Structure 1
Amino acid sequence: MDGKQENSWFKKIFTVFIIIVVTLAAPARPSPELLHEESGEEFCPEDEYRSRKGHCCNKCHAGFRLEQECESSHLKSICKPCPKDYYMENSNNAKNCFRCNTCKSNERMQSECKPKENRKCVCNDGYFKQSISKFTWQCLKCTTCGEGEEQRIPCSGSTNRECDCKEKFYRNSNKICEECKKCNSDQKCNHLCRKSDTDWQLAFVVVIAVMSVLILITVYMFIQKRRSCHKQEIVVSPVSSDSETSKNLLSYVSEDEKTVKDPALIPLPKHEPPVWQDPSGQEELPDCIPRVFKTCHFIYFLLQHVPASRFKELVRSLGVSERDIEWAERDNHTCKEAQFQMLKVWCDSSRGDEVETLSKARLLEMTETLRGMGLMAGAEAIEANFQIL
């Protein structure tokens, strides 16, 4: 049993050794690619193809199809031309040609079917091409411009016609072009607004604006003038029979600034006669001869003793009309000048008096009017200063 086992192991080892030796000693078999490289047939040129038998065969030219493969690389393939209405654009090894297109309705043939070129079709006039997929399309009728519309983009084989409204038309809410009949916000209807509405409205607005500005300016000036009359204050000097009081004319100042506002009203020269005199120039007259007084001296004196707030009441009581009061305020720059003019109107209303003098009767009328208004101080100042009691 021991001898048999040893022989068995020896046979196994010897068999493995023989296999290894044979494997290492056998020549390596080249790969198919190497065999093709050695034979020059592993890659076919661009105008050839590999046949089912493994060798390269020539391709058929455009316009032909393959009828039979070449038997070897040294022989030619058998090709036949494409039949009628079939084509093949490129060199090939296809068994069949492609069928040419057929022009559909609304299409016309642009070029005939040829063995090397497919039939070409285009849309008829008045139709445009709309793509369905990469290789299919359909021809649809172009849009027709309606009434009031004009062509903006013409109809072509690849583009539909686009329309827009004509001049003096606009597109309404129903997308229909309607003729402009009145001015509206649409720009194409501005021609109706140009003269009939827009210009007239603009001119009306301008006139209203100018009139409003003028009215505001007038009201402002009137208010300022009224305020200036009420703010002005008369500088009242104490009543005295001294001749210096009679010779000084009226000066007045504002409440805010204690400066003379009317330099035109200057004092009388020192050689002027007393406040009253008769036309002959005599200072003392008999009681039987009525005395007369200078108008301007009297007015200046009166303005010192009548409050500005009651001056219009006084001149109205004396009979000065509202029209004369209004004209005096309008024609004079200052309130005192206007008041002087109002009293001047009353002084001139006495037809029997001299132009520049007042009678004793007019002074008495003034004192009675002042007493009737409750201005007793003013009346007494006139009587004391002009000695008319």
Structure 2
Amino acid sequence: MRKCELYAYVLLVLISQSNTILNVASETVKKNCLDIEYWNEKGFCCDKCHPGYKLKAKCPERKTRSECEKCEPGTFLDRLNYNDNCFRCKECNKPHSYETSPCTSTSNRVCECEPGYYYKKLDHSSYECKECKKCGSGQHETVKCNGEQNTKCECNKNHYPVKGKNTCEPCDKCQEGCPDFCISSTPHNPVKSARPTSPPDTLPQILVPVCACITVLALGVFMLYEGIRLWKKKRQALSSQSSSPAPEDQTFIIKVEPDTICESVSFTNQPETEQSGKLPDCVPREIKIHEFFYFVLDEMPIGRFKELVRRLGVSEQNIDRAEQDHRNCKDAHYQMLKVWSDSGSGGGSNVLPFHRVQMFVDTLKDMCLINCADNIENMFLSQNTSASH
């Protein structure tokens, strides 16, 4: 028993190390491309398109050039790229804004705000013109309102700020902003104020390596536990199959394609009229795409999402495009999953075949995201299995 558990743990470690080595080797090959080139999936480097041009067709073989075409009016690309589409120029249509630089194929349109307003960015592509702040009574201006900078004000000398108001009042007692009213006539005693110096705190220096050791140990125990659990699960399944009694009469198994898996139907040598009424209907194992995607987005760790879609075959170009088109992280991840689902076979416009979901779960298990894989499997695969019975 202990030897089998040890073998299972060693096998898991070897698999994870082999995947890491393959990934490093692949990345090393890609790094050999120049800055003006990109990695072609066929196994060689292609030249990028110049600013103002988008990629129309990749280079078909080594020492050939990519086919590029100029961006349409109202769009731009301001750097070397291999994008399929150009970015749309922003519009200077906000109140109190005007255009200072037009949109070209190599540069975005530049907008500024009218005098008395400053440019405030809301996100990567959105902005608004906010009215400049005006200094109140008892204040003076330290920074002028200009460009993306709002006005900054400070209280005049011997004035203090009034809480909740944009004004300052003259000092009449010792308080914040009134240092001249806080001068004490009693001489300062340096002996009383002196405090013994304490040695540097060594507690953080001890806690950091201890916490690191605990984390590594916990991770090792978790991987060992999951490996043993999967091994036991497979062993129980094999033992249950081997221990099940064979039927006395001859059994026939009906098999269908994976996209529409049906329950295996066993029947004995009985008349055809009796058997035809007992055969169950074929229930396709298909899942609605939007339900599956939103469940995955809630379960999947954000920090490992790109690794997942890369393993599923989504290209770096489609990942970058999803992040450019969707500033919201969840929307960008949804678009990456949509690219993956569209690249597969089977299903329909709004459904995902069973075998694609099974591949998704197997990929999560290869990434050691066992809990996430189990939750998705219990939510969709187990329900489809039960539905077919």
Higher RCO (C-alpha 8 Å, min separation 6): 2
TM-score by length of 2: 0.31
Q: TM-score, normalised by structure 1?
A: 0.31
